[in-house]
């Protein structure tokens, strides 16, 4: 089945046929669905097969066709998130949906890197969200039990046959600006007051304000060649506080991203190798908004637009994708 937006009726049929599904859509639509082998999260923004769309009438469907050997759906909060990796199958992958800015979101983002066995199998997923011009509340859905949560994450652990393996790819349009100062932080945190800028203790909010830096550009850390973004949520000069959409980590060296002239063009170039057959993929709300992706088609990019992307750990302003291949 092609991953794309479908009507509620169609999705009900898929569930009743016993298909294993990962869903994204408006809360009112997801709440109508029957119990079955599915997990879901709320969001009304999508990259559909033809273009970027805002929809509260359709549900985005990813069928996990490789989930023939085994599937388990588990709800996680801050008390059992440590078991996320242990609950996974020996060979497979985990698809995780987290509600934004709750304790589970915070804890997962800060702890993920130290989860034992995190890299044994891909952990991919997204942070659900809502219409930015509404008072809607983001929810995660456990299709198996029919329950929805504002404060719990839902994971679908999928077992793959021995002759298959799953792998994650990320697509990041940003690059570290080599002329940027080097920024180091004292503590793993979503908020920062002081930091070291080129080795000198500085208030980050003042620095950003004084240098008139573009806060649409993320900070980037180099993870052995992978550019990992941390996007700026808010700069509060009055209180000297900067907040991020993902945590910054002590011991990592960050730089500001190089400015981008043409967001869409950058996406087109960077996603040339995007695998349209990916089992699952999603892209960041900031990319969607800053890049004005609504009604635009970029290569064959598909999937829900998210408030945070998960590729082993929480990422920002990044497109993530999971594919399953033969060994």
Q: Which residues bind another protein (CB under 8 A)?
A: 91, 100-102, 113-114, 118-120, 122, 132, 138, 165, 167-170, 185-187, 189-194, 208-209, 215, 223-226, 232-241, 243, 245, 250-251, 285-286, 289, 307, 311-313, 325, 327
Distance of closest approach, residue 152 Cβ to another protein, in angstroms: 14
Q: C-beta of 254: minimal distance to another protein in Å?
A: 14
23-47 burial, b for 16+ CB within 10 Å, e for fewer? bbbbbebbeebeebbbbbbbbbbbb
Q: Looking at beta carbons only, is 49 or 215 nearer to another protein?
A: 215
Element (H, E) at 324: strand 319-326
CA separation for the pair 286, 308 (Å, rounded): 9
β-pairing, 280-284 vs 319-326, is: antiparallel
Give the side-chain half-sphere CA count within 13 A for 139: 20
In the numeric block, the tokens 């000069």 are attached to 237
Considering the complex, what minimum distance in angstroms separates the CB of residue 112 from another protein? 9
**In terms of CB distance, is 9 or 116 closer to another protein?**
116
CA distances (Å), 128 to each of 43, 115, 146, 228, in order? 6, 22, 17, 20
**Do residues 284 and 306 touch, judged by C-beta distance below 8 A?**
yes
Rank residues 51 and 253 by Cβ distance to another protein and give the closer one. Answer: 253
Looking at the Cβ atoms of 144 and 271, the one nearer to another protein is 271
We find the least distance from the C-beta atom of residue 108 to another protein, in angstroms, to be 15
Question: Which residue lies nearer to another protein by CB, 36 or 99?
Answer: 99
- Distance in Å, CB of 245 to another protein, minimum: 8
């Amino acid at each position: 089945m092609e991953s794309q937006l479908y009507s509620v009726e169609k999705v009900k049929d898929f569930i009743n046929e016993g298909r294993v599904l990962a869903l994204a859509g408006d809360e009112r639509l997801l709440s109508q669905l029957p119990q079955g082998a599915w997990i879901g999260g709320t969001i009304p923004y999508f990259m559909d097969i033809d273009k970027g769309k805002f929809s509260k009438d359709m549900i985005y469907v990813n069928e996990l066709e490789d989930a023939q050997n085994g599937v388990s759906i588990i709800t996680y909060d801050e008390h059992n998130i440590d078991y996320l990796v242990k609950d996974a199958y020996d060979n497979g992958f985990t698809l995780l949906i987290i509600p934004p800015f709750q304790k589970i979101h915070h804890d997962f983002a800060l702890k993920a890197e130290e989860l034992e066995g995190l890299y044994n199998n891909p952990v991919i997923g997204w942070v659900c969200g809502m219409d930015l011009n509404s008072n809607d509340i983001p929810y995660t859905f456990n299709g198996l039990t029919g329950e929805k949560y504002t404060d719990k994450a839902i994971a679908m652990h999928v077992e793959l046959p021995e002759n298959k393996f799953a792998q994650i790819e990320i697509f990041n349009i940003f690059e570290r600006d080599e002329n940027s100062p080097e920024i180091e932080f004292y503590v793993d945190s979503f908020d920062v007051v002081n930091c070291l800028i080129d080795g000198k203790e500085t208030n980050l909010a003042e620095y950003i304000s004084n240098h008139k830096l573009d806060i649409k550009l993320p900070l980037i850390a180099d993870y052995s060649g992978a550019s990992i973004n941390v996007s700026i949520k808010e700069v509060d000069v009055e209180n000297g506080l900067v907040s991020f959409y993902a945590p910054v980590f002590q011991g990592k060296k960050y730089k500001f991203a190089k400015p981008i002239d043409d967001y869409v063009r950058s996406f087109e170039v960077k996603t040339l190798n995007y695998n349209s057959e990916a089992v699952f993929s999603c892209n960041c709300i900031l990319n969607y908004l800053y890049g004005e992706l609504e009604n635009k088609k970029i290569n064959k990019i598909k999937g829900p637009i998210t408030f945070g992307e998960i590729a082993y750990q929480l990422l920002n302003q990044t497109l993530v994708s999971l594919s399953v291949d033969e060994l």
